[in-house]
Structure 1
Amino acid sequence: MNERPETNPLGEFDLIERFFKRPLSNSNPQILLGIGDDCALISCSAKDQPGALAISTDMLIEGRHFLPGADPGLLGHKALAVNLSDLAAMGATPTAFTLAIAMPEAKAEWLEDFSNGLLKIANHYHCPLIGGDTTAGPLTISITVFGRVNHTQALQRSNAQLGDDIWISGTVGDARLALGAIRQEWLLTPAEMALVAPRMHAPTPRIVLGQKLLGIAHAAVDVSDGLLGDLSHILKMSQVGAEIEIDQIPRSDTLSEQALERQRLCTLMGGDDYELCFTAPRVHRKTIQSLAKELDLNLTKIGVITPPTPSLMILLDDSGQILPAEESQHYLNSFDHFKTAT
């Protein structure tokens, strides 16, 4: 990125006004007051969207969640996408978000690219920026997103039922495959990297899928820290177990061409895919298959909810054999911010 010299340093309120403040859209009447006051105001009485206010916060820190020198436009996209993915996992409809950002210095070119990426995805999902804060410091991006969902249908992690099918949307593992190539854990050709890198840098939150699953699915989680690790949150909170057919987990053609061990590592332990893993009664199988066609999105059954088991879940290979306990436990070790090295 070419640096353009700044004639005048940007102040806090100058950069908010220039890069982040936008007129409120009439398409979202729930937003009563946005950027510019001590608080934003959101109406909680929308007649066409009864229920609860869904709230989620995520923080991205340079060197921990993204690489130094990351493309600011893609970073702006991802910063909001990961929060919208949390709303998708609850079946919530986006309402608005706030942004708190710390930067070593306020560079206009970086801020222009970042805000363009951020506000483009915000506009796509009708989720306006309504407030936040800026300060000087190590590059840190914190977003809080708000949505609405009928609380009687919300896809809570604690609601998986015995006999439920376990489903996953799209494909998983490409983001981890790209990260491994960046870390030089393995080699990918430029063509392969071009195919998988967008999954890492510009994920797609499955908002519409989450909305469509209301009344169909029992529980859901977005795959941010690894499929099995994230699924374990559902199992623990629902006090159930699971059987997973690990080689039925959908993966891209690029990942399918890798060695089997690498495929399993990426699909079972890799994060940053932001697909939805959900459970639903068997009676809804045809409905879910029809939904996949409607959305033009692969929805794949990968297992079933079982009574609780000491190992939390049983992993089966493509021949139906149970993986050894030590190998299964290895795959259950998903990313943890305080245990996993950057």
Structure 2
Amino acid sequence: MGEFDLIARYFKRPVRQAVLGVGDDCALLQPRPGTQMAISSDMLVSGRHFFADVDPRTLGHKSLAVNLSDLAACGARPLAFTLALSLPEVNEPWLAAFAEGLLALAETHGCELVGGDTTAGPLNICITVFGEVPVVNGRSQALLRSGAQPGDDIYVSGNLGDARLALNTLLGQIDLPPELLASCRQRLETPTPRVALGQALRGVATAAIDVSDGLLGDLGHILENSGVGACIEADTAIKLVAAYPYNKGATGQFDLKLSTEQWRSLALAGGDDYELLFTAPASQRAAVAQAGQASQTPVTRIGQIRAEPGLLLVDSQGQTLPNHYASFDHFA
């Protein structure tokens, strides 16, 4: 099968929002009046971002999900995406499953595949996604990393740490019971981009970012860009690890025998969560709750922005904790 036959069979679909999709040298997008384009790219590399034997359906899902998560953090509505795919060989069953997982998520979010490239080489997946955000009275409604203010509450959506728990198990570092591994592995391999929540937070949140490399590391980007500090309630964060009830056999089923320090590390520096981390004024607590309900996404307040620079961690008693949690860095 040749390159263009491969594209036509597995990735060419009619477009409804784009002016022109797959098949020309360029795709054509027409932004609606009163909107700005939001654009983001992510690359997934075999052996670095995923195991070589991962289910291709889940890989297709995650490849797009991590990009949609960036749009969510900007408060953008998904429009379209391009796919650059490097393949070691033309494996048709693999391609069919990958395309199925990819395009099913694309259909869910109304995000059209409009172009890209394929080549022979090590398995690499690069997606560029396009979205739109409204401009009201000349002002963009995009959520940025730079708007956090002293006194703002700090929130995170959904759960933390379960993806890292699955990864540690697959690497042989932890032993999970099969039913728990299955649920944690789902969080690792098929994350849920919080697109609806991101859009619901426009005009409510002051800053936002998606949690890809670890909660504290990604929060650090907000603090740096906003010129502020923060206080995080570490023991509130660890309760967001869905597997946490297994701590010390609390479920009566299995004892993971993880220390409090290990649970904190999962929640604060686990990575691959793809939840939204955002700030909002205390006066907007009702609006934040409403955004969570409208998007059917749980949100939890885990701290507060401070004027003093730096990141302070406290336990459930308000006692200061050492901050030695390092988030993921490809080149560290």
TM-score of the superposition, structure 1-length normalised?
Answer: 0.90
Mapping for residues 44-193 of structure 1, pairs under 5 Å: 44=31, 46-47=32-33, 50-150=34-134, 152-193=140-181
Percent identity, aligned pairs only, is 53
Match of 1:212 in 2: 200
The separation in 2 between residues aligned to 1:238 and 1:74, in whole angstroms, is 36
Mapping for residues 191-202 of structure 1, pairs under 5 Å: 191-202=179-190
| 3-state SS, counterpart of residue 184 of structure 1 | coil
Shift of 1:291: 2.7
Match of 2:294 in 1: 294
Structure 1 letter corresponding to 2:68 = L
Match of 2:261 in 1: 261
Number of residue pairs the alignment of both structures matches: 316
Match of 2:252 in 1: none
Match of 2:19 in 1: 32
Match of 1:234 in 2: 222
> C-alpha offsets along residues 6-47 of structure 1, whole Å, 9 cap, x if unaligned?
xxxx1100100000001113xx2xx10000001000002x13
Shift of 1:290: 2.7
Q: Is the 1:245–1:302 Cα contact (8 Å) retained in structure 2?
A: yes
Q: Is the 1:240–1:305 Cα contact (8 Å) retained in structure 2?
A: yes
Structure 2 letter corresponding to 1:37 = D
Match of 2:253 in 1: none
Does residue 335 (structure 1) correspond to residue 328 (structure 2)? The answer is yes
| 3-state SS, counterpart of residue 159 of structure 1 | coil
Mapping for residues 297-312 of structure 1, pairs under 5 Å: 297-309=297-309, 312=310
Q: What CA RMSD, in Å, does the superposition of the two structures yield over aligned residues?
A: 1.1
Shift of 1:150: 2.4
Q: Is the 1:174–1:255 Cα contact (8 Å) retained in structure 2?
A: no
Unaligned runs of 5+ in 1: 1-9
Q: 2:320 aligns with which of 311, 322, 325?
A: 322
Match of 1:277 in 2: 277
Structure 2 letter corresponding to 1:76 = G
Structure 1 letter corresponding to 2:88 = P
- Which piece of structure 1 moves more, 284-293 or 72-81? 284-293
Structure 1 letter corresponding to 2:214 = G
Shift of 1:51: 2.4
Shift of 1:253: 4.0
Structure 1 letter corresponding to 2:74 = M
Q: 1:15 aligns with which of 6, 25, 46?
A: 6
The separation in 2 between residues aligned to 1:236 and 1:197, in whole angstroms, is 32
| 3-state SS, counterpart of residue 33 of structure 1 | coil
Q: Is the 1:58–1:144 Cα contact (8 Å) retained in structure 2?
A: yes
Q: Is the 1:177–1:255 Cα contact (8 Å) retained in structure 2?
A: no
> C-alpha offsets along residues 217-250 of structure 1, whole Å, 9 cap, x if unaligned?
0100000000000000000011100000011114
Q: Is the 2:83–2:117 Cα contact (8 Å) retained in structure 1?
A: yes
TM-score of the superposition, structure 2-length normalised?
Answer: 0.93
> C-alpha offsets along residues 165-198 of structure 1, whole Å, 9 cap, x if unaligned?
0000011111001001111111101011012111
Unaligned runs of 5+ in 2: 248-257
The separation in 2 between residues aligned to 1:269 and 1:256, in whole angstroms, is 19
The separation in 2 between residues aligned to 1:136 and 1:295, in whole angstroms, is 40
Structure 2 letter corresponding to 1:36 = G
